Amino acid sequence: MKMKQKAMMIAALAVFAVSCGQQATGDNTLTAKEKSEGWELLFDGKTMNGWHVYNMGKAPSAWSVKDGALVCTQGAAKEVGDLVTDKEFKNYELQFDWKISKQGNSGVFINVAERPDLPAAWATGPEYQLLETSHPDNENPKKRTGGLFALFAPESGAAMKPQEEWNQSTIRQVDGKIEFYLNGKLTLRQDLQSRQWKDTVAATHFKNYADFGKFTSGHIALQDWNKGVSFKNIKIKQL
């Protein structure tokens, strides 16, 4: 009996050890399991290392680090601009937590090209839309959170949390085929090389930007806007 109890105790301790190894110690950290799977933090919770302002480098801007989050401050007097990763990415799964102020409007761009002749990240990068529900644009399904801004509405069934509460989103891309998730639920699938994609872009104002949606790799960018938005736990696994 004693040997059996001892074996059970050892087994329980082993499960506990594995469980502890999988739990992060807090925000902006990776578990041992995530590290072994190839996840990489894009934000350390303390600095803006790995990020810069689109076409402006490390210039001061409305972006800062506050309470462990990347924050775009509403009404900030400093230079504005989208915040862009220093690195470029192709096939990956990106996860991030975010919260937004009342009537806030922001987004995350993928496959962004950064060139002096391009005005902003949106000139090339499709946008995972982030929109607080009281914003007037929320009346347009194609501008709702979890959709592909101005192009494709999110699928029903996923809901964002009330303003100033943290949401969790995922963007997955493999060879131009993308999936968007909001709080664990799929909101969109699209192929950036399909005829449907090309025809849809051609029917919008994005047709005026020759390189919009043409790339299947590039920078990731966080959109600056005139309302407050915050991001944390930004991590990526290359596929």
Domain ranges of the chain: 31-238
Tell me the two tokens of residue 199: 């025809």
Q: Do 189 and 196 meet the contact criterion of CB atoms below 8 Å apart?
A: no
Does residue 8 carry a pLDDT above 50?
A: no
The CATH number of 31-238 is 2.60.120.560
What mean pLDDT comes out for the span 70-87?
Answer: 83
Q: Give this prediction's pTM.
A: 0.88
Higher pLDDT, 4 or 39: 39
pLDDT in tens, 131-190: 999 999 999 999 999 999 999 999 988 899 988 899 999 999 999 999 999 999 999 999
Mean per-residue pLDDT of the chain = 90
